[in-house]
Amino acid sequence: MRSKVSSGDVGGSRREFLVTAAAACAGVSLRPEDVRADAGALADVKGSAHWTVKRADTDNVKLFMWRKQLASPAATAAREPAPGTILFVHGSSVSATPVFDLQIPGKPEASTMDWFARLGYDTWCVDCEGYGRSDKWRPVNADVACGADDLAAASEYILKQNGGRKLLLYGASSGALRAGLFAQRHPERVDRLALDALVWTGDGSPTLAERRKRLAEYRASNRRPIDRAFVRSIFTRDHPDTSDLSVVEAFADAVLALDASVPTGTYVDMSANLPVIDPEKIVVPVLIMRGQWDGIASFQDLANFFARLPNPDRQFIVMPGIAHTSTRSRNWALVYHLLDAYFSQPAPVYVG
């Protein structure tokens, strides 16, 4: 279902050029066989904190955003045109920075934002309401629709920072639902949309079947507790050994440093209110990424979703050896390659 006319060659050539340029700016000499080596270890990346306000009825809700870019303007200028602005969207049980900017010495790939910043992207993530550093004081369960509102506020801020260039949007798990609903509401702000670990109707999902057993509990409270055992379970419930457990422990440290509990809204939506997005109303280009052993959504559920997408610029990829959390998997390099190739894909010259 995925067309590969020459996008891999284009992506590879682009990556080689950028890695070589970044190495030159950093004073590093590369042998030819090193060009495709660890792009994440070549150029310095800078981070900056940002805040915006979401208007919710009469309330002002503060949302935390984190931005990572190449530190060297010369390295950024080495590629023309710049590859674009990515907004990463987190899922139900963790805030944004542990997922997308995990820092582990000797593992530059642990930070998805750093990796893509070193490829020249302007990368952003946002803590949805109720998570991480964003406001948690409102008596709401922060459901999928609430998260789509967060993305509307964050995107409005980001577009002012990047000159109005449309966003490359990546969401995982309930983050895919948030991103999908946002793209459904605001297609004019989205260039390309990547939906990872997505669920549509929930048919055939063993994970959601188990989650429904606790639906009354989730409905009874706006928040649910999380601990180290729970964080570990995210990586082991579908298929053991798909992730490096040393990375999982560092990930759990980062998650629990920010939150001891998280909102219940997306769990309620995924257990009782699916579908919450309509593929026929998502008119932007879409990439669907499904881990081979993901227990959230069946292949058929996503195939039915894919068939209803109206934009012919669409791809559906099954990622081998991966369960629910692709960017934290042992096969992270495959995930990064697929995402970079999709986000840097040339626009079609002829569309009929």
For residues 141 and 80, which has the higher predicted lDDT (pLDDT)? Answer: 141
Query: To the nearest whole number, what is the mean pLDDT of the chain?
Result: 89
Q: Is the pLDDT of residue 19 over 60?
A: no
Q: What is the pLDDT of residue 7?
A: 35
Q: How many domains does the chain have?
A: 1
Pick from 131, 334, 294: nearest CA to 200: 294
Average pLDDT over residues 185-211: 97
Q: Is the pLDDT of residue 28 over 70?
A: no
Model-level pTM? 0.88
User: 183-201 burial string, b = 16+ CB within 10 Å, else e?
Assistant: bbbbbebbbbbbbbbbbbb
The owner of tokens 């805030």 is: 95
Q: What is the pLDDT of residue 72?
A: 83
Inside any domain, residue 348: no
Q: Is the pLDDT of residue 17 over 70?
A: no
User: 280-304 burial string, b = 16+ CB within 10 Å, else e?
Assistant: eebebbbbbbbbebbbbbbeebbee
Pick from 194, 199, 174, 197: nearest CA to 285: 194
Q: What is the pLDDT of residue 43?
A: 85
Average pLDDT over residues 168-189: 98
86: three-class secondary structure by DSSP: strand
For residues 29 and 265, which has the higher predicted lDDT (pLDDT)? Answer: 265
Q: What is the pLDDT of residue 33?
A: 36
Q: What is the pLDDT of residue 10?
A: 41
Q: For 39-55, how does the pLDDT look when each residue is reduced to its tens digit (9 = 90+)? A: 444 689 999 999 999 99
Q: Is the pLDDT of residue 8 over 60?
A: no
Average pLDDT over residues 113-142: 97
Q: What is the pLDDT of residue 67?
A: 98
Q: What is the pLDDT of residue 6?
A: 35
The CATH code of the domain that includes 226 is 3.40.50.1820
Average pLDDT over residues 271-296: 98
Pick from 85, 80, 76: nearest CA to 126: 85
**Residue numbers of the domain that contains 108:** 7-343
Q: What is the pLDDT of residue 11?
A: 45
DSSP codes, 236-294: HSSSTTSS-HHHHHHHHHHHHTT-SEEESHHHHIIIII---S-GGG--S-EEEEEETT-
Q: Is the pLDDT of residue 20 over 80?
A: no
Residue 338, token pair as written in the block: 């697929």
Q: What is the pLDDT of residue 117?
A: 96
The model's confidence at residue 81, banded by pLDDT at 50, 70 and 90, is: low
Inside any domain, residue 35: yes
Average pLDDT over residues 17-31: 40
User: 41-58 burial string, b = 16+ CB within 10 Å, else e?
Assistant: ebbebebeeeebebebee
Under 8 Å between Cβ of 184 and 277: yes
Q: What is the pLDDT of residue 247?
A: 95
Q: For 248-267, how does the pLDDT look when each residue is reduced to its tens digit (9 = 90+)? A: 999 999 999 999 999 999 99
Report the C-alpha gap between 220 and 251 in whole angstroms. 29
For residues 331 and 40, which has the higher predicted lDDT (pLDDT)? Answer: 331
Q: What is the pLDDT of residue 76?
A: 58
Q: What is the pLDDT of residue 347?
A: 87
Inside any domain, residue 14: yes
Q: How much of the chain, in percent, has pLDDT values that exceed 90?
A: 82
